[in-house]
Amino acid sequence: MSRFFVWDARLLVYLGGGVVSALVDIGIMQWLIGVSVAPLLATSVGFLVGLCVNYLFHSRLTFRTAARSNGSFLRYLSVVALNYLITLGLVAASVALFHQALPGKLLSLPLIAINGYLLGKHWVFK
């Protein structure tokens, strides 16, 4: 496992990009909920905007030496789809249990960060 998940400079850059993306994502989600947009729709919009920030950050900074191709972009979208489903599932559970989207969203962040880094490093941008 240590060979697969090495704490290197790239991981720190990845985490920094994740924090920026998460702040954009959560900020938009919370703002939309505040203006009466349904929680799952607000979660989706926040996720999509955060996705754009995330892709730009990681394709230009974190994994900049990786080849950019249609194949890597399709692999990236596959990881995004998986992370999106994880996020929606946890937000839906949080809304059902606590009548709030934010706890589920916050719980999803470390899970999708680990998933995204490992798949990004070893599959998407390889």
Helix H, strand E, coil C: the string for 100-111 is: CCHHHHHHHHHH
pLDDT in the model for residue 1: 46
Residues 63/125, Cβ–Cβ less than 8 Å: yes
So where are the chain's domains? 9-124
Question: Would the pLDDT of 58 be above 90?
Answer: no
Please return the burial class of 106, using the count of CB atoms within 10 Å of its CB with bins 0-12, 13-18 and 19+.
middle
Instruction: Give the separation between CA 30 and CA 113, rounded to whole angstroms.
Output: 20
Tell the residue number behind the tokens 């703002």, with chain if given: 31
Question: Would the pLDDT of 101 be above 70?
Answer: yes
Instruction: Give the separation between CA 39 and CA 82, rounded to whole angstroms.
Output: 19
Three-state DSSP at 35 gives: coil
Q: What is the pTM of this model?
A: 0.70
At 92, the amino acid letter reads A
